[in-house]
Amino acid sequence: MGLLSLGTPLPWDQAKLLAREVRKHGIEQFLHIWRNMKDRQKDRLLWGDEIEYMLISLDHKNRRARLSQRGHELLSQLQIEENEKLDHASRTGEKPELEALWRPEFGRYMIEGTPGQPYNSTVAELTNVEANMKKRRDIVTRLMRDNETILAVGSYPELGSGDFLEPPHKANGEFSRSLFLPDEVINPHPRFRTLAGNIRERRGSKVTINMPIFHDVNTPRPFIDPTIPYERNIFPGDKEAKEGAALPDHIYMDAMGFGMGCCCLQITLQAPNVNQARRLYDQLATVGAVMMSLSASSPIFRGYLADVDCRWNVISAAVDDRTPEERGLRPLSKDRFAIPKSRYGTIDTFLGSDDGYFKPEYNDLPLVYDEEIYQHLVSNDIDDLMAKHISHLFIRDPLVIFEELLDQDDAVSADHFENIQSTNWQNVRFKPPPPNSPIGWRVEFRPLEVQVTEFENAAFSVFTVLLARALLAFGDINMYIPITKMDINMQRAHSRDAVLREKFYFRRNILGDDKAAEQATDDDGSDVVEMSANEIVNGSLDFVGLVPIVQMYLDSIEVEDSVRAKIDTYIDFVRGRADGSIVTAAAWMRNFVRSHPAYKFDSVVSSEINYDLVVALDEIGKGKRNAPELTGIGVSGL
């Protein structure tokens, strides 16, 4: 989340009346930014990561691990320090010495950390990333109590199961109305509970999340979850579970917190200009699925082993605010559009750029967009693809409106634009510059799951940055596939052990230097093929591979030996994840559970197993326990 607006968020029945107004001003704000910033050139290739952590409270005596509500308290302390340093710097004119910035997230137990300032564009800087991430862990650790720790995995295994929260609370909150999650898991800033409440209100029911259960040898078939309080009767929505929302053979979840309470790793990259940002957006969108499969760290939900390894679909369903009409369950009468996807999901349209590789047939989803907004943008000199992108984002309603912030000067504020933009949670995000700022056009890469160790988080960050640098340096790389194929890839990437068991659609030849030849293969429809993660990442006889492209890029520039050696450890790690010589955190966690003496092979991750798992992950995270099978450190020369 960016900076939080302060004030009074409106409940849905009031907010919905202002949606049109917010959209109208949001579009004017975008037009101002576009006019002022579209010609920016030569911005530096700054970039930064975001890591989300969960604060855990460990009760060693009773062998229990719980999510701690003190995350919010810790965050306040971190931000006080941050503000003091910024104050000091502005008074003295010195450069602020910030090693990290701390931001709130949806979960009260969550903390998001970024570097104190973006990393610079040199390759040598890439060797500072892991140290900065370690520093972040140290900074938080200093403020923690002895029994507390921070953990970085996609989904917390026990979220919504048993007494997973410290201090404990009953699930009976007005905002989520969840059968499992108390509202106390939500960050106390009013923005977050309003988001949860307004999504539920807009949708007309609680959100419905069903992840397939991992059928172990003793898991009943069909699996009907005995832990769901089907007969609770506090809120009208309580009956939804019994009336079909909770699917057999699935892990049912019913609140925004199950999704936005997950952690992730995001990378924001500045491009030299808007065109290059558009190129990065399109090209990075197509590699997101395979990268997500390598990074999988979410195999357990609400105390059960799932048949998926990633959090993506959980979040998608957790914030799905579409009404029954929008979901196509009823004919349109009150609502404007039938909308195929949740506002959290894959992108629906490529942006195109001046590289000459985009073709209209790649945007093969019937795009839902606001015709009036589209026309207004086009009549203000916005090109077709950009106008489609923005008018597509703007089919959504603003979810949280602060009464005090309604009245904005559209020439200097981007609040209304960001309101819609930042609640379209997609696999890549096109980030226009804030008005009147030195910041340029950026793209955010969002599908990665967070990793247990700084080494792994640094490796994925550095690899992503190098891939983006290669894309910018070698203008002839072309990774376009049709959007519908990207969607299929993302679903495949989600499944258990996707990295080993799935194939992904990818362009047969991504070194598209010969555009005429490309055209020829396109015409017989054979330019997209299915490949394993290993083939895509490491290459094969028929395919160059992403790792070799990154290496070609590194070979093409001057890199000091020591820098290259360090970067090579990260590349080896990515290579190892793709070829299966090292496992994902999801596979590691699943294996830990299934090897635990208390596991009954019934898919249930008990509190006892959860405790041992959290302790083990914590030790790995702190470097106190070696897990070469996960990180590759200690094998293959790392």
Q: Which is nearer to Mg ion, 6 or 17 (CB)?
A: 6
DSSP string over 400-424: --BGGGS---TTT--HHHHHHHTT-
Q: What are the structure tokens assigned to 504, written together?
A: 């992904």
Q: Does position 118 bind ligand ADP by CB under 6 A?
A: yes
Least distance (Å) from ligand ADP to the CB of residue 437?
9
Residue facing ligand ADP at closest CB distance = 48
Q: Does position 418 bind Mg ion by CB under 5 A?
A: no
Alpha carbons 180 and 635: distance in angstroms, whole number: 42
One-letter amino acid identity for 466?
Answer: L
Kindly give, in sequence order, each residue whose CB lies less than 8 Å from that of residue 638, ignoring residues fewer than 6 positions away. 569, 572, 573, 631, 632
Task: Tell me, by CB under 6 A, how many residues bind ligand ADP.
Answer: 18
End-to-end CA distance of the chain: 35
Alpha carbons 108 and 57: distance in angstroms, whole number: 13
Q: Does position 492 bind ligand ADP by CB under 6 A?
A: no
Q: Does position 4 bind ligand ADP by CB under 6 A?
A: no
Least distance (Å) from ligand ADP to the CB of residue 156?
20
One-letter amino acid identity for 49?
Answer: D
- Tell me the per-residue interface mask from 242 to 281 with ligand ADP, x by CB under 6 A, - otherwise: ------------------------x-xxx-----------
Alpha carbons 276 and 62: distance in angstroms, whole number: 55
The residue ranges of DSSP E strands in 82-135, in sequence order, are 100-103, 110-115
Q: Which is nearer to ligand ADP, 3 or 217 (CB)?
A: 3
Q: Which is nearer to Mg ion, 50 or 418 (CB)?
A: 50
| Strand pairing class (528-532; 503-507) | antiparallel
Residue facing Mg ion at closest CB distance = 266
Kindly give, in sequence order, each residue whose CB lies less than 8 Å from that of residue 347, ignoring residues fewer than 6 positions away. 281, 285, 426, 427, 428, 483, 486
Region from 64-72, 112-120, 152-160, 193-201 binding Mg ion, contact rule CB under 5 A: 112-120
Does residue 441 contact residue 433 with C-beta atoms inside 8 Å? yes
Among 52, 158, 325, 444, which residue sits at the site for ligand ADP (rule: CB under 6 A)? 444
Does residue 265 contact residue 448 with C-beta atoms inside 8 Å? yes
Q: Which is nearer to Mg ion, 109 or 611 (CB)?
A: 109
| Residue 313 touches which member of Mg ion, ligand ADP, none, C-beta under 5-8 Å by kind | none
- Tell me the per-residue interface mask from 24 to 53 with ligand ADP, x by CB under 6 A, - otherwise: ----------------------xxxxx---
- Tell me the per-residue interface mask from 36 to 65 with Mg ion, x by CB under 5 A, - otherwise: --------------x---------------
| Strand pairing class (344-345; 425-426) | parallel
DSSP string over 433-470: PPTTSS---EEEE--PBP-SSHHHHHHHHHHHHHHHHH
Among 28, 43, 49, 112, which residue sits at the site for Mg ion (rule: CB under 5 A)? 112
Q: Does position 148 bind ligand ADP by CB under 6 A?
A: no
Q: Does position 442 bind ligand ADP by CB under 6 A?
A: yes
Kindly give, in sequence order, each residue whose CB lies less than 8 Å from that of residue 99, ignoring residues fewer than 6 positions away. 115, 116, 132, 135, 136, 139
Q: Which residue carries 């996707």 as its tokens? A: 498
Region from 108-116, 315-323, 324-332, 503-511 binding Mg ion, contact rule CB under 5 A: 108-116
- Tell me the per-residue interface mask from 256 to 295 with Mg ion, x by CB under 5 A, - otherwise: ----------x-----------------------------
Least distance (Å) from ligand ADP to the CB of residue 111?
12
Residues that bind ligand ADP (CB under 6 A): 1-2, 46-50, 103, 114-115, 118, 266, 268-270, 439, 442, 444
Residues that bind Mg ion (CB under 5 A): 1, 50, 112, 266
